[in-house]
Amino acid sequence: MATQTAVSEQKETTTGGFDWGLALTVVSGVLMLAALFMALVWAPDAANLKAPAERAAQRIFYFHVPSAWIGFLAFIVAAGASVMYLVTRRQKWDIWALSSVEIGVAFFAMVMLSGPIWAKPTWNVWWTWDPRLTISTISWLLYIGYMMLRGAVDNPDRQARFAAVYAIIAAMSIPINWMAIRWWRTIHPAVVLPGNNSAAQGGFGMTGSIATTLIFCVVAFTVFYAALMYHRIKLENLKRRVDTLRQKILYR
């Protein structure tokens, strides 16, 4: 029964007159290219950074910050979809949650990689126990746990239920973790950032084209996330449809 709904949903997406998927893909591709151009060429060097390595590394921040934003957005979407799944029991929401977590984990991996590359020339260390770094890593591990949980449960109905329960608990734990880790590190003034901008430790206030570039990148990444979601959901629908068809043939 559940797989039936997946099949019908699949039909819905293919019979629409206007191809939203294609449009979304093209728009996000153009936006990402523009974001790349703005981040690497158009945005000026940060005025206060002297060392060339620091100036080059500063440009990572145009992709680092949007990636972190998408990471958290993806987990919020996953938690919302999980609540919807437990309430409505429609497979669609399970697919939403699963897709969103996978994309979020990928974006968080980018955050984890780009962060140290920026931090080494700027802070002179790859890693500090700053609340932001710690909470990002914990969230990343939480959602890797989500994917491992999914992989370890065979029964599809149970898999969806367990994953939804876990996603809700994980999403609830993130703000509490955040608070705890912030309190834990306020003893160390050197790593606690005064403003709400994670680049502030590098010591610049954002103005003009730097701010414009960052905002543009956040928008471009959000559209990119939507495009990825569209394709991942479509892929999962197709996968489940293939499973249904295969079972139909096997047990005919």
Touching another protein, residues 184-213 (CB under 8 A): 184
Site string for another protein, 101-140 (x = CB under 8 A): -------------------------------------x--
Task: Pick the closest to residue 122 from 26, 41, 44, 53 (CA basis).
Answer: 53
**Amino acid sitting at position 169:** I
Between residues 40 and 172, which has the closer beta carbon with respect to another protein? 172
Measure the CA–CA gap between 69 and 83, rounded to whole angstroms.
21
Q: How far is the CB of 156 from another protein (least distance, A)?
A: 12
Between residues 23 and 169, which has the closer beta carbon with respect to another protein? 169
Between residues 138 and 206, which has the closer beta carbon with respect to another protein? 138
Q: Would you tell me how many other CB atoms lie within 10 Å of the CB of residue 215?
A: 12
Task: Pick the closest to residue 114 from 133, 87, 98 (CA basis).
Answer: 133
List all residues 6 or more positions away from 82 whose beta carbon is below 8 Å from its beta carbon: 93, 97, 163, 164, 165, 167, 168, 171
Asked if 164 interacts with another protein (CB under 8 A), we say yes
Residue 201 DSSP label: G
Asked if 166 interacts with another protein (CB under 8 A), we say yes
Measure the CA–CA gap between 240 and 246, rounded to whole angstroms.
10
Q: How far is the CB of 134 from another protein (least distance, A)?
A: 9
State CA 206 to chain mean position distance: 24
Asked if 41 interacts with another protein (CB under 8 A), we say no
Site string for another protein, 43-82 (x = CB under 8 A): ----------------------------------------
**Amino acid sitting at position 123:** W
Task: Pick the closest to residue 72 from 216, 151, 179, 170 (CA basis).
Answer: 170
Asked if 229 interacts with another protein (CB under 8 A), we say no
For the chain, the C-alpha Rg in angstroms (whole number) is 21
Asked if 148 interacts with another protein (CB under 8 A), we say yes
Name the segment binding another protein (CB under 8 A); options: 5-13, 18-26, 52-60, 160-168: 160-168
Total residues at the site for another protein (CB under 8 A)?
Answer: 30
Between residues 176 and 250, which has the closer beta carbon with respect to another protein? 176
